[in-house]
Amino acid sequence: MRDAFGLSYLFISHDLAVVAQLSDRVAVMYHGRICEIGTAPDVLAPPYHPYTRILLASAADDEPAAEPAAGGTAAAAHAGCVFATRCPHKLGTVCDTTPPLRSLSASHAIACHLDTMPDIAVLPVSVRADPQRPAV
């Protein structure tokens, strides 16, 4: 219907495997703020933002992955990066400032301090092989 009638859809889900199958563009949000946005292949292969990684890893498991509990859960009370209180890669006081939404390419942007830190490896995460759910 999207192609036949030129429609746009807003699809909201925590299951990035499903999102990858249905969406041309993806915006990953945490507590109402965009963490990563771009075309589905740019955002999901490999995921750059730690929250995108957690969501994609939970789609790869039968059981959802637990978010790291590094600090409190009140993102609204945190003045810096919205994900800093739960981020497994928190960069000390660097993450106490709000990262701008920076372009990684013409079709991909990320709001994270990690993309400026070359010593932190970005490891691709892929959805497990499942005949009912194609790999991302």
CATH value of 2-116 in 3.40.190.10, 3.40.50.300, 3.90.1150.10, 1.10.3720.10: 3.40.50.300
- CA 2, chain centre distance (Å): 24
Count the neighbouring beta carbons within 10 Å of the beta carbon of residue 57.
Answer: 16
Residue spans per domain, the chain? 2-116
Q: 84-109 in b/e burial notation, b at 16+ Cβ within 10 A?
A: bbbbebbbeeebeeebeeeeeeeebb
Q: Exposed (0-12), middle (13-18) or buried (19+): which is 117, by Cβ within 10 Å?
A: exposed
pLDDT tens for the chain, residues 1 to 136: 778 898 888 889 988 888 888 889 999 999 999 999 999 999 988 888 999 988 888 876 655 445 544 444 444 456 789 999 899 888 888 899 999 998 888 999 999 988 655 444 444 433 333 334 333 3
What is the pTM for the complete model shown? 0.71
Alpha-carbon span 134 to 136, nearest angstrom: 7
